[in-house]
């Protein structure tokens, strides 16, 4: 592997890049070489991120959300080589598979952009029985307070995208805790989404070891939904 410049990344919390004195090293699996560092965040960092997410009220229209998702997909395509390179470095997959993952992620945002334009309201007639009344019931979906997302080491771009893209499409706010093994891609993705126009409160990324930050990602009172792709231990905790 050619010599690379080590990335020293911070968490993305409330529009700020947050660093800590203690860091977690990210290593290239084949050589053990350090390719980056991320903060060893604490429960307090996650708690703060959830408070920000729960108190934020997005005013984005369906059209605006669709445009953000569409632009995010375009940026991923424009930076395919950069993203694929870092997928290789932190995950250890081959170049072909890394490029394929960027294309899959691009599809996710394309599909989510289309779904954001779909009306999710419903109309129900009440006069369907002999006791029914001649009236209608109208329903509409509203965002929850916040969503907690826990993602695994494999497919760090696509796994996070599968969680955040529907969240944006439905106008929700998410706090993501990627695995400490492959956190760099999630942070890069956050920056891409901000560049595409997403308010930073709608997608925050916290990093840390499970024993230091994991508990706050599960029982926190500020979120209503938890989405995770991990192993049995995390599932049992949830």
pLDDT confidence of residue 11: 98
Q: Which residues pair with 171 in a beta bridge?
A: none
pLDDT confidence of residue 211: 83
> How many distinct structural domains can be found in the chain?
1
In a domain, 82, yes or no: yes
Size of the chain, expressed as the number of residues it contains: 238
The residue among 177, 174, 170 whose CA lies nearest residue 147 is: 174
In a domain, 191, yes or no: yes
In a domain, 94, yes or no: yes
DSSP H/E element including 139: strand 136-139
Query: Are 83 and 188 in contact, with CB atoms under 8 Å apart?
Result: yes
pLDDT confidence of residue 33: 93
Please, which residues have CB within 8 angstroms of residue 120's CB and are 6 or more apart in sequence? 140, 141, 170
Please report, for residues 65, 106, 170, 189, the alpha-carbon distance to residue 141 in angstroms, rounded to integers and kept in the order given: 16, 26, 9, 27
Q: d(Cα 51, Cα 91) in Å, to the nearest integer?
A: 31
The residue among 20, 65, 21, 73 whose CA lies nearest residue 46 is: 20
Per run of 10 residues, the mean pLDDT along the chain (length 238 residues) is 82 97 95 95 95 96 98 98 96 95 97 94 89 89 91 92 97 95 96 98 95 80 84 70
In a domain, 77, yes or no: yes
In a domain, 169, yes or no: yes
DSSP H/E element including 3: none
| Structure-token pair, residue 128 | 């369907």
In a domain, 2, yes or no: no
pLDDT confidence of residue 172: 97
pLDDT confidence of residue 140: 87
Query: Are 189 and 160 in contact, with CB atoms under 8 Å apart?
Result: yes
Query: Are 196 and 72 in contact, with CB atoms under 8 Å apart?
Result: yes
In a domain, 172, yes or no: yes
| Widest CA span in the chain | 77
Q: d(Cα 197, Cα 211) in Å, to the nearest integer?
A: 34
Query: Which letter, b or e, does each residue of 135-154 get, where b requires 16 or more Cβ atoms within 10 Å of its Cβ?
Result: eeeeeeeebbbbbbbbbbbe
In a domain, 1, yes or no: no
pLDDT confidence of residue 200: 98
Neighbour count for residue 225 (Cβ, 10 Å):
13
pLDDT confidence of residue 1: 52
CATH of the domain at 13: 3.40.605.10
Q: What pTM value is reported for the model? A: 0.91
> What are the percentages of helix, strand and coil residues in the chain, rounded to 5?
45, 20, 35
Range of the domain at 64: 7-237
């Amino acid at each position: 592997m050619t010599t690379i410049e080590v990335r020293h990344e911070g968490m993305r919390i409330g529009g700020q890049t947050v660093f800590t004195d203690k860091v977690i090293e990210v290593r290239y699996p084949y050589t053990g070489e350090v390719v980056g560092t991320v903060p060893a965040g604490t429960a307090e960092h996650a708690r703060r991120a959830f408070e920000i997410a729960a108190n934020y009220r997005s005013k984005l229209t369906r059209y605006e959300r669709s445009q953000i998702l569409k632009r995010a997909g375009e940026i991923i395509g424009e930076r395919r080589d950069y993203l694929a390179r870092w997928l290789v470095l932190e995950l250890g997959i081959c170049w072909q598979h890394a490029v394929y993952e960027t294309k899959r992620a691009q599809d996710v945002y394309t599909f989510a952009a289309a779904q954001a334009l779909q009306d999710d309201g419903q109309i129900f007639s009440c006069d369907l029985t002999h006791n029914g009344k001649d009236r209608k019931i109208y329903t509409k979906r509203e965002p929850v307070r916040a969503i907690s997302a826990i993602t695994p080491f494999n497919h760090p771009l696509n796994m996070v995208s599968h969680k955040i893209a529907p969240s944006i499409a439905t106008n929700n706010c998410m706090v993501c805790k990627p695995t400490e093994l492959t956190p760099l891609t999630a942070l890069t993705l956050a920056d891409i989404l901000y560049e595409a126009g997403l308010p930073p409160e709608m997608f925050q990324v916290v990093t840390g070891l499970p024993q230091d930050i994991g508990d706050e990602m599960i029982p926190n009172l500020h979120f209503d939904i938890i989405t995770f792709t991990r192993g049995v231990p995390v599932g049992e905790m949830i």
